[in-house]
């Protein structure tokens, strides 16, 4: 039992740890599987347990969603709010390379510390469901999903050009290369050929796009998904190459271009091939060779620059299928090999980039569209653009075609600290395969939505590890360094590599590549639903109850790839019948970044990093929480301010003193106080649901101000109510005050297990509008005023700012007559002017 605390001083450090412990002991935050209650699945992105600990940015996401979780529990919902660790990754491995300490050990230590942080912040996670992606019982299912992908032809191995970071000694996915440099360390990456596993995400491109209509993602987040998929609908047009040298002997050589504007076909004055285009490789002209070698060394950004477009004339020509004209063929690096077909038709009259190029190289510019209608275009002249395009396709000048920015997902990493890819290669079976198939089995299809133009597929003799042998556990090793050849360090461990072929029982070799960081996070929200299941990834009944995730919040940096990858895996699992929904997340939001007090990005080198642990030690966790909510609009970047943190802390102190004090008073709550409270209850509810955490805190402060001045109007009922609605935001102080002032002294019932207050505004909570009159004549209206004296004050202040009122009153002596909720009349003293 808790001793009544009459201490006038607010000392959060004395009770916060006690309550955190008590809540855990009582299990008040546990989600119940399959209850009749309305379910809510709230998800925040699980962190990487780094040596730098959790920062104030993590706290922003966690604390705000925690307030929603706590409120919804009070509103009678069965809330799943879980937590875990995305623990594979390079930092632990790099640390191991340097110090020899096994990543398992550093990971465990980092988790222990971060968990203490999270508990001290009073987050209401259900710890029974804690997961860790590096736990073999977890990654067993990550590997299982990979095997299913392989069995359905969605995982394949191919020789591809990879981005090699010579400093990290790792192959990076295209999306991990920023302006030609490694995303992690900034070193310039090199292009090399290597055999890699890929996942055929492109097969899902259309569904990843169209299903966005079925979910509620913040608009800019949905837009990022759309842009990354980058679907372009247009046409493929073939231009026959004119044979001018006798080297090319075939007469069906042609260049296929991709265009979104086939209607401009009569405006084509040249063609351009990307420097990487296969046809270019056949040209031996030294000028061309020289240009290509220069172009290949440029970064993508340099190539996409607006001005100074370089190129070289091949002196070859092709025939425009629309009018039989000869057009010159150029090579230029503003055309990208990985867009469309790597070849374009140049229409400088209607495309800015082409115009820039044409000016630079004195190429003809021809107008063929004017105000949406075709000109100079043979029989198409006079038609609208859209119609003309369709006609041209009907007439066989081109074929409908679409292209995507999305590429198949490079899924191999040559690193130790990741999930082993559960595949086995048998050379004997490969031999048999080769004589059996004329082409490699599982050759990717080339159709619309197929992003793999990535070279030889090597599928001979590959077998998945039988499911009953999963997980393939990471072996202990001594050297964590990736090898100079680019092979994974696992390749050195003979006992790991050697195995038996699941097909013929002969000697075979294991895959030594591991999965990328993205793997474990692509399905973790499913495992929370049934974290200890050893028969399946999760129980179908439980999945049916909990899915989809109702609200997912995380950083803006994960709204492209992580979201896309996890949606892809989820859709695949849906197709397998493993999950009951085709989309994982019903709603996705993101929180803004917190900048240092100097308004710059927090970084160790700038010394402007705020450590949340210090904030808790000095002000208490409730102050940290409340400040994280108060700091600014949730989705916007804001600056850390100690002053405003202290303001929030002062607010909590005042709450403490007022309530400790109010024990002495026994008053009836006034109607005005009740109305204010009713409005406040609704506002907190609405604001938390619409992510306006900052205005929720502001409203609580405003109420406190009024209360301080009207202490004789606030009775015990409202004090208790105030604590209840503050509880989701500041769980510790409210629990302490509730238990010591109101709680059941014989049986512990947490304030967090109470119901959310139900209270109605007397006049139904409708917007009230006050009619403003001057000497009885209606001159205006003021909406939604507060009640009581404050009401009169604020209404007359607003009224006196209205032009139509001002002009009758200005300079005159008046008095006001106020009928609360109805009318405010200004009475002019006659005789005054
Ligand atoms: C002729 C044309 C005329 C085009 C016109 C556009 C406007 P957007 O415009 O971004 O939707 N394109 C195709 N493949 C390319 C490649 N490999 N590298 C660089 N550019 C390429 O993208 C479609 C247009 O991008 C295509 O349509 C093509 O130029 C260009 F008035 O063809 B268009
Ligand atoms: Zn075999």
Order of strands, sheet of 409-410, starting from the edge strand that comes earlier in the sequence: 170-172, 155-165, 190-199, 409-410
DSSP state of 638: E
Picking from 23, 162, 171, the residue whose alpha carbon sits closest to that of residue 455 is 162
What the block records as the tokens of 184 is 């992690």
**% of the chain residues with pLDDT over 70:** 92
* DSSP3 helix / strand / coil % (the chain, rounded to 5): 40, 20, 40
Q: Measured in angstroms, how far is the CA atom of residue 389 from the centroid of ligand 1?
A: 15
C-alpha span between 303 and 339 (Å, rounded): 13
- Sort residue 44 into left (φ over 0), alpha (ψ -120 to 50) or beta: beta
Residue holding tokens 């296929």? 256
**Which residues share a beta bridge with 190?**
164
What integer pLDDT is reported at residue 831 of this predicted model? Answer: 57
Whether omega for the bond prior to residue 58 falls within 30 degrees of 0, making it cis, is no
Residue 79 and residue 100 in contact, taking contact as beta carbons nearer than 8 Å: no
Whether omega for the bond prior to residue 297 falls within 30 degrees of 0, making it cis, is no
- Mutate-to-test residue for ligand 1 from 238, 258, 358, 365, highest number of ligand atoms within 8 A of CB: 258
Distance, C-alpha 30 to centroid of its chain: 26
How confident is the model over 668-727, as pLDDT tens digits? 899 999 999 999 999 999 999 999 999 999 999 999 999 999 988 999 999 999 999 999
What integer pLDDT is reported at residue 96 of this predicted model? Answer: 84
Residue 356 and residue 374 in contact, taking contact as beta carbons nearer than 8 Å: no
How confident is the model over 156-179, as pLDDT tens digits? 998 887 788 888 777 777 767 887
| Residues written for the chain | 833
What integer pLDDT is reported at residue 254 of this predicted model? Answer: 93
- Mutate-to-test residue for ligand 1 from 277, 331, 344, 392, highest number of ligand atoms within 8 A of CB: 344
How confident is the model over 3-33, as pLDDT tens digits? 444 567 899 999 999 999 999 999 999 999 9
Ligand sitting nearest the alpha carbon of 402? 1
Provide the 10 A C-beta neighbour count for residue 528: 23
Residue 388 and residue 253 in contact, taking contact as beta carbons nearer than 8 Å: no
What the block records as the tokens of 365 is 């510019």
What integer pLDDT is reported at residue 452 of this predicted model? Answer: 42
pLDDT band at 245 (very low <50, low <70, confident <90, very high): low
Residue 610 and residue 187 in contact, taking contact as beta carbons nearer than 8 Å: no
Q: Measured in angstroms, how far is the CA atom of residue 150 from the centroid of ligand 2?
A: 17
What integer pLDDT is reported at residue 765 of this predicted model? Answer: 45
Q: Which of 63-77, 96-110, 238-252, 545-559 shows the lowest mean pLDDT across its residues?
A: 238-252
Residue holding tokens 């509880």? 727
The answer to whether the CB of 133 is under 6 A from ligand 1 is no
What integer pLDDT is reported at residue 780 of this predicted model? Answer: 87
3 state DSSP class of 220: helix
- Sort residue 282 into left (φ over 0), alpha (ψ -120 to 50) or beta: alpha
What integer pLDDT is reported at residue 193 of this predicted model? Answer: 81
Q: What ligand 1 atom has the least distance to the C-alpha of 267?
A: 3
3 state DSSP class of 414: coil
- Give me the mean pLDDT over the 740-752 stretch: 90
How confident is the model over 462-494, as pLDDT tens digits? 999 999 999 999 999 888 877 777 788 999 899
Q: Measured in angstroms, how far is the CA atom of residue 344 from the centroid of ligand 1?
A: 7
Helix/strand/coil (H/E/C) assignment for every residue in 698-757: HHHHHHHHHHHHCHHHCCHHHHHHHHHHHCCCCHHHHHHHHHHHCCCCCCCCCHHHCCCC
Provide the 10 A C-beta neighbour count for residue 201: 23
* 158-172 per-residue burial string, b: 16 or more CB within 10 A, e: under 16: bebebbbbeebebbb
Residue 806 and residue 800 in contact, taking contact as beta carbons nearer than 8 Å: yes
What the block records as the tokens of 21 is 């412990």
Q: Measured in angstroms, how far is the CA atom of residue 415 from the centroid of ligand 2?
A: 26
How confident is the model over 519-534, as pLDDT tens digits? 999 999 999 999 999 9
* 50-68 per-residue burial string, b: 16 or more CB within 10 A, e: under 16: beebbbbbbbbbbbbbbbb
What the block records as the tokens of 638 is 């804001």
C-alpha span between 310 and 295 (Å, rounded): 9
Homologous superfamily (CATH) for 232-403? Valyl/Leucyl/Isoleucyl-tRNA synthetase, editing domain (3.90.740.10)
- Answer whether residue 389 shows pLDDT above 80: yes
- Give me the mean pLDDT over the 60-79 stretch: 97
C-alpha span between 570 and 35 (Å, rounded): 24
pLDDT band at 787 (very low <50, low <70, confident <90, very high): low
- Answer whether residue 453 shows pLDDT above 50: no
Q: What ligand 1 atom has the least distance to the C-alpha of 350?
A: 31
- Answer whether residue 443 shows pLDDT above 50: no
C-alpha span between 367 and 722 (Å, rounded): 71
Helix/strand/coil (H/E/C) assignment for every residue in 142-198: HHHHHHHHHHCCCEEEEEEEEEEECCCCEEECHHHEECCEECCCCCECEEEEEEEEE
Look up the pTM and report it. 0.84
The answer to whether the CB of 806 is under 6 A from ligand 1 is no
Whether omega for the bond prior to residue 136 falls within 30 degrees of 0, making it cis, is no
Helix/strand/coil (H/E/C) assignment for every residue in 86-108: CCCCHHHHHHHHHHCCCHHHHHH
DSSP state of 32: -
Q: Which helix (H) or strand (E) holds 360?
A: helix 352-360
What integer pLDDT is reported at residue 309 of this predicted model? Answer: 92
Q: Measured in angstroms, how far is the CA atom of residue 102 from the centroid of ligand 1?
A: 51
Taking the alpha carbons of 386, 392, 395, 399 in that order, is the dihedral positive or negative?
Answer: negative
Please provide the CATH number assigned to the domain covering 768-828: 3.10.20.590
Q: Measured in angstroms, how far is the CA atom of residue 260 from the centroid of ligand 1?
A: 6
* 631-657 per-residue burial string, b: 16 or more CB within 10 A, e: under 16: bbebeeebebeeeebeebbebbbbbbe
The answer to whether the CB of 405 is under 6 A from ligand 1 is no
Q: Measured in angstroms, how far is the CA atom of residue 454 from the centroid of ligand 1?
A: 22
- Answer whether residue 790 shows pLDDT above 90: no
**% of the chain residues with pLDDT over 90:** 69
Tell me the DSSP string of 646-713: HHHHHHHHHHHHHHHHHTT---PPPHHHHHHHHHHHHHHHHHHHTT-HHHHHHHHHHHHHHHHH-GGG
- Answer whether residue 1 shows pLDDT above 70: no
Q: Measured in angstroms, how far is the CA atom of residue 569 from the centroid of ligand 2?
A: 29
Residue 44: HSE in the Cβ half-sphere, 13 Å Cα cutoff: 27
C-alpha span between 329 and 257 (Å, rounded): 12
Indicate which residue's Cα is closest to atom 14 of ligand 1. 340
pLDDT band at 502 (very low <50, low <70, confident <90, very high): very high
Q: Do domains 641-753 and 768-828 have the same CATH topology?
A: no
What integer pLDDT is reported at residue 450 of this predicted model? Answer: 35
- Answer whether residue 813 shows pLDDT above 90: no
Residue 752 and residue 28 in contact, taking contact as beta carbons nearer than 8 Å: yes
What integer pLDDT is reported at residue 786 of this predicted model? Answer: 62
What the block records as the tokens of 393 is 């396709």
- Answer whether residue 194 shows pLDDT above 90: no
Ordered by start, the domain boundaries in the chain are: 232-403, 641-753, 768-828
What integer pLDDT is reported at residue 441 of this predicted model? Answer: 45
Picking from 792, 772, 778, 743, the residue whose alpha carbon sits closest to that of residue 22 is 743
Q: Measured in angstroms, how far is the CA atom of residue 484 from the centroid of ligand 1?
A: 40
What integer pLDDT is reported at residue 785 of this predicted model? Answer: 65
C-alpha span between 229 and 175 (Å, rounded): 12
Indicate which residue's Cα is closest to atom 32 of ligand 1. 259
What integer pLDDT is reported at residue 722 of this predicted model? Answer: 97
What the block records as the tokens of 600 is 């710059």
DSSP state of 262: G
Average pLDDT, the chain: 90
- Mutate-to-test residue for ligand 1 from 305, 351, 377, highest number of ligand atoms within 8 A of CB: 351
Indicate which residue's Cα is closest to atom 26 of ligand 1. 259
Ligand sitting nearest the alpha carbon of 509? 2
3 state DSSP class of 236: strand
Ligand sitting nearest the alpha carbon of 431? 2
pLDDT band at 447 (very low <50, low <70, confident <90, very high): very low
Residue 15 and residue 736 in contact, taking contact as beta carbons nearer than 8 Å: yes
How confident is the model over 113-138, as pLDDT tens digits? 999 999 999 999 999 999 999 999 99
Give 527's contacts (C-beta < 8 A, 6+ positions apart): 84, 131, 138, 141, 537, 538
pLDDT band at 451 (very low <50, low <70, confident <90, very high): very low
Homologous superfamily (CATH) for 641-753? Isoleucyl-tRNA Synthetase; Domain 1 (1.10.730.10)
End-to-end Cα, the chain, rounded Å:
71
How confident is the model over 582-637, as pLDDT tens digits? 999 999 999 999 999 999 999 989 999 999 999 999 999 999 999 999 999 999 99
Indicate which residue's Cα is closest to atom 25 of ligand 1. 259
The answer to whether the CB of 339 is under 6 A from ligand 1 is yes
The answer to whether the CB of 398 is under 6 A from ligand 1 is no
The answer to whether the CB of 367 is under 6 A from ligand 1 is no
DSSP state of 405: S
């Amino acid at each position: 039992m808790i001793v009544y605390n009459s201490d006038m001083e607010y000392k959060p450090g004395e009770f916060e740890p006690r309550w955190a412990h008590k809540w855990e002991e009582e299990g008040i935050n546990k989600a119940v599987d399959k209850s009749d209650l309305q379910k809510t699945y709230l998800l925040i992105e699980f962190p990487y347990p780094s040596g730098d600990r959790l920062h104030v940015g993590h706290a922003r996401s966690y604390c705000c969603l925690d307030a929603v979780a706590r409120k919804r529990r009070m509103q009678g919902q069965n809330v799943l709010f879980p937590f875990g660790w995305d623990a594979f990754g390079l930092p632990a491995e790099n640390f191991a390379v340097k110090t020899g300490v096994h990543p398992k050990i550093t990971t465990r230590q980092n988790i222990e510390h971060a968990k203490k942080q999270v508990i001290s912040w009073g987050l209401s996670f259900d710890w029974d469901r804690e997961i860790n992606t590096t736990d073999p019982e977890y990654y067993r299912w990550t590997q299982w999903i990979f095997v299913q992908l392989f069995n359905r032809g969605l995982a394949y191995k191919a020789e591809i050009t990879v981005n090699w970071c010579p400093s990290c000694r790792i192959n990076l996915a295209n999306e991990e290369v920023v302006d030609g440099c490694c995303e992690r360390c900034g070193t310039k990456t090199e292009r090399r050929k290597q055999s890699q596993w890929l996942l055929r995400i492109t097969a899902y491109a259309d569904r990843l796009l169209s299903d966005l209509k079925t979910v509620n993602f913040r608009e800019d987040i949905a837009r990022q998904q759309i842009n990354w998929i980058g679907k372009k609908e247009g046409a493929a047009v073939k231009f026959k190459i004119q044979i001018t040298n006798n080297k090319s002997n075939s007469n069906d050589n042609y260049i296929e271009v991709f265009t979104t504007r086939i209607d401009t076909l009569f405006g084509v004055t040249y063609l351009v091939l990307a420097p990487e285009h296969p046809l270019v490789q056949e040209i031996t002209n030294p000028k061309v060779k020289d240009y290509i070698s220069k172009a290949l060394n440029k970064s993508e950004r340099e190539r996409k620059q607006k001005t100074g477009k370089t190129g070289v004339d091949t002196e070859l020509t092709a025939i425009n299928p629309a009018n039989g004209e000869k057009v010159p063929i150029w090579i230029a690096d503003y055309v990208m090999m990985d867009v469309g077909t790597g070849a374009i038709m140049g229409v400088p009259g209607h495309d800015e980039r082409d115009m820039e190029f044409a000016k630079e190289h004195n190429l003809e510019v021809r107008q063929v569209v004017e105000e949406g209608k075709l000109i100079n275009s043979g029989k198409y002249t006079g038609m609208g653009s859209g119609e003309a395009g369709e006609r041209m396709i009907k007439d066989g000048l081109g074929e409908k075609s679409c292209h995507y920015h999305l590429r198949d997902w490079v899924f191999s990493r040559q690193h130790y600290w990741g999930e082993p890819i559960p595949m086995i290669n048998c050379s004997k079976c490969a031999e048999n395969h080769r004589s059996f198939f004329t082409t490699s089995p599982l050759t990717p299809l080339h159709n619309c939505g197929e992003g793999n133009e990535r070279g030889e597929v090597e599928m001979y003799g590959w077998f998945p590890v039988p499911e009953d042998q999963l997980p393939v556990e990471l072996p202990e090793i001594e050297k964590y360094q990736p090898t100079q050849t680019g092979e994974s360090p696992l390749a050195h461990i003979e006992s790991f590599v050697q195995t038996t072929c699941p097909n013929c029982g002969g000697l075979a070799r294991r895959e030594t590549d591991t999965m990328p960081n993205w793997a474990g996070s692509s399905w973790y929200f499913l495992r929370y639903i049934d974290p200890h299941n050893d028969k399946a990834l999760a129980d179908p009944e439980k999945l049916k109850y909990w899915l989809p995730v109702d609200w997912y919040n995380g950083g803006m940096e994960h709204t492209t790839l992580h979201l896309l990858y996890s949606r892809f895996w989820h859709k695949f699992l849906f197709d397998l019948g493993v999950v009951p929904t085709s989309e994982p997340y019903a709603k996705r939001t993101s929180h803004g970044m917190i900048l240092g007090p100097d308004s710059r990005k927090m970084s160790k080198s700038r010394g402007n990093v705020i450590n949340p642990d210090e904030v808790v030690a000095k002000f208490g966790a409730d102050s940290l929480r409340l400040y994280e909510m108060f700091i600014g609009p949730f989705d916007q970047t804001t600056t850390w301010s100690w002053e405003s943190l202290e303001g929030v802390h002062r607010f909590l102190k005042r709450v403490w003193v007022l309530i400790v004090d109010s024990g002495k008073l026994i008053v009836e709550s006034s109607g005005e106080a009740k109305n204010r409270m009713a409005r406040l209850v609704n506002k907190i509810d609405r604001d938390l649901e619409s992510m306006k955490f900052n205005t929720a805190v502001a409203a609580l402060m405003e109420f406190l101000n009024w209360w301080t001045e009207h202490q004789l109007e606030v009775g015990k009922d409202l004090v208790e109510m105030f604590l209840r609605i503050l509880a989701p935001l500041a769980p510790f102080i409210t629990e302490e005050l509730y238990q010591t002032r109101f709680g059941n002294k014989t049986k512990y019932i947490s304030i967090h297990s109470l119901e959310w207050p139900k209270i109605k505004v007397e006049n139904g909570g409708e917007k009230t509008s006050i009619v403003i009159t001057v000497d009885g004549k209606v001159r205006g209206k003021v909406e939604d005023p507060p009640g009581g004296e404050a009401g009169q004050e604020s209404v007359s202040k607003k009224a006196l700012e209205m032009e139509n009122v001002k002009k009758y009153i200005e300079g005159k002596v008046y008095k006001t007559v106020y009928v609360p909720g109805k009318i405010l009349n200004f009475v002019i003293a006659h005789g005054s002017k």
